[in-house]
């Protein structure tokens, strides 16, 4: 298995461009199932999770062509199969995103039940309850979700809990349902709005995405379109933290700062100087000492759980004590033990991490456990003295496009060691 070797202590400086957002791209690829024509997706990030989603669609008979502009032309309009097998689902939970589109378009789906994962048990009951309310019949058999419906019927649905992919699944399904669907207690993440924009460009009628209530007037058919994936706010946030922990100065282009309001607020609280334009964010932490910031993760517009591990590193080298409360996932502190092996002083108490800032970190051999945990270990390696080796980096390749190349471009020294 490949590893990353990080020679720490370099201050990051420069400008980088954000890649397309993984968590916007995955539901959009699934949404192509709803279309009667091919859909062109531009600015797809080069990530393992995107490859897995293509593999999944390909296994069901979709035709995916990479054109001369590096855009993907996806024809999912005559699938020969409506099954998502366990081999693929177990490698990527977001495979569940094909459930709603398959039932809406083909009247049936057989999807392996995703199991637990490194960050929590992550059930899909909210997806299934809502799909049943749209009229689907759902049976759980032999580790699979078997869903059938003649035509889904629009209704009023209040989600039992806020779920990002659940909201996306049902928004997609309701686009082809008969009548109108009102969704409340929905996720308001920017990626929900992005998906609604794509679906509307395909001929759907969705209003209110990104707000408290989403209203979907079902249509009979969706058509093809061409759509560019917006920038990845978590990637942008991670590079800003990389600049902060190395007392550097970085400009991230291509990102709308309104997608990171809470993160920017917390970076400013930590002492960073931030300036923004409508599509860029710059951060400078040169000649300054980080201040500790308390954080509570929660659904958008609150502080994103996907930035929690990165902020743990920032707080770990800040001058004082801070508290991080993780309220979205029950087990998202797996990086803490590894960070402590690099000299951090962090104690876990249930869903709270109590972080006592230390003057410096030292390099060590550490192991990635999930995507954002791996990002935090790389950040720690960047500001530690000596060498850090991060193993199991397949986690990072799922969600960060060529991370070592981008960080090296900013002045880091990271080598990818072959297995």
Residues labelled catalytic: 117
Closest to ligand EPU by CB, 180 or 327: 327
Confirm if 298 and 327 have CB atoms less than 8 A apart: yes
Output the smallest distance, CB 22 to ligand EPU, in A: 6
Output the smallest distance, CB 271 to ligand EPU, in A: 26
Output the smallest distance, CB 316 to ligand EPU, in A: 20
Task: Out of 127, 188, 233, 259, point to the residue binding ligand EPU (CB under 6 A).
Answer: 127
Task: Out of 61, 107, 120, 179, point to the residue binding ligand EPU (CB under 6 A).
Answer: 120
- Between the alpha carbon of residue 261 and those of residues 111, 273, 325, 376, 387, the distances in Å are 36, 14, 19, 21, 34
Cβ neighbour number for residue 107 with a 10 Å cutoff: 15
Chain Cα centroid distance, residue 165: 10
Confirm if 355 and 290 have CB atoms less than 8 A apart: no
- Using rule CB under 6 A, residue 249 touches ligand EPU: no
Q: Which residues between 1 and 60 bind ligand EPU (CB under 6 A)?
A: 23, 26
Output the smallest distance, CB 66 to ligand EPU, in A: 22
Q: Which helix (H) or strand (E) holds 391?
A: strand 387-391
**Which stretches of 105-237 are assigned E, i.e. beta strand?**
108-112, 137-141, 144-148, 156-158, 180-184, 205-207, 213-217, 226-228
- Using rule CB under 6 A, residue 224 touches ligand EPU: no
d(CA 168, CA 96): 10
Task: Out of 94, 241, 366, 410, point to the residue binding ligand EPU (CB under 6 A).
Answer: 94
Task: Out of 77, 95, 163, 181, point to the residue binding ligand EPU (CB under 6 A).
Answer: 163
Task: Out of 32, 246, 249, 305, point to the residue binding ligand EPU (CB under 6 A).
Answer: 305
- Using rule CB under 6 A, residue 161 touches ligand EPU: yes
Contact stretch for ligand EPU (CB under 6 A) within 30-38, 70-78, 164-172, 315-323 = 164-172
Confirm if 202 and 226 have CB atoms less than 8 A apart: no
d(CA 357, CA 373): 19
Binding footprint of ligand EPU on the chain (CB under 6 A): 23, 26, 94, 120, 122-127, 161, 163-166, 187, 305-306, 328-329, 371-372, 399
């Amino acid at each position: 298995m490949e590893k990353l070797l990080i020679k720490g202590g370099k201050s990051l400086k420069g400008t980088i461009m954000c890649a397309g957002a993984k968590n916007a791209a995955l539901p959009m690829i699934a949404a192509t199932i709803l279309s009667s024509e091919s859909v062109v997706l531009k600015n797809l990030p080069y990530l393992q999770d995107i490859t897995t989603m293509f593999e999944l669609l390909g296994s069901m008979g979709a035709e995916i062509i990479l054109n001369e502009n590096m855009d993907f032309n996806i024809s999912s309009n005559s699938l020969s199969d409506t099954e998502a097998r366990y081999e693929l689902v177990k490698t990527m939970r977001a495979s569940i995103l094909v459930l709603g589109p398959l039932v809406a378009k083909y009247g049936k789906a057989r999807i392996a039940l995703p199991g637990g994962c490194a960050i929590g048990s992550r059930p899909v009951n909210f997806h299934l309850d809502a799909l049943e309310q749209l009229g689907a019949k759902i049976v759980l058999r032999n580790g699979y979700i078997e869903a059938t419906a003649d035509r889904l019927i629009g209704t009023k649905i209040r989600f039992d809990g806020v779920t990002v992919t659940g909201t996306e699944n049902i928004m997609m399904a309701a686009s082809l349902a008969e009548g109108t669907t009102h969704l409340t207690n929905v996720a308001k993440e920017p990626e929900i709005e992005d998906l609604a924009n794509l679906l509307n460009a395909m001929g759907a009628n969705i209003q209110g995405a990104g707000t408290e209530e989403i209203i979907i007037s079902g249509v009979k058919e969706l058509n093809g379109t061409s759509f560019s994936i917006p920038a990845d706010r978590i990637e942008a946030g991670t590079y800003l933290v990389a600049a902060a922990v190395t007392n550097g100065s970085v400009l991230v282009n291509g990102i709308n700062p309104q997608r990171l309001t809470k993160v920017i607020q917390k970076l400013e609280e930590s002492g960073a100087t931030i300036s923004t334009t409508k599509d860029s964010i710059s951060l400078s932490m040169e000649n300054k000492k980080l201040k500790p910031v308390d954080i509570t993760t929660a659904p958008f517009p609150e502080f994103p759980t996907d930035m929690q591990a990165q902020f743990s590193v920032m707080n770990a080298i800040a001058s004082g004590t801070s508290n991080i409360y993780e309220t979205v996932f029950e087990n998202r502190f797996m990086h803490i033990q590894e960070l402590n092996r690099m000299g951090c002083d962090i104690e876990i108490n249930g869903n709270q991490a109590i972080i006592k800032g230390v003057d410096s970190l030292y390099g060590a051999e550490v192991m990635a456990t999930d995507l954002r945990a791996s990002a935090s270990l790389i950040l720690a390696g960047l500001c530690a003295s000596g060498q850090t080796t991060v193993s199991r980096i397949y986690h990072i390749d799922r969600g960060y496009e060529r991370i070592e190349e981008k960080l090296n471009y900013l002045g880091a020294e990271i080598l990818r060691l072959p297995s």
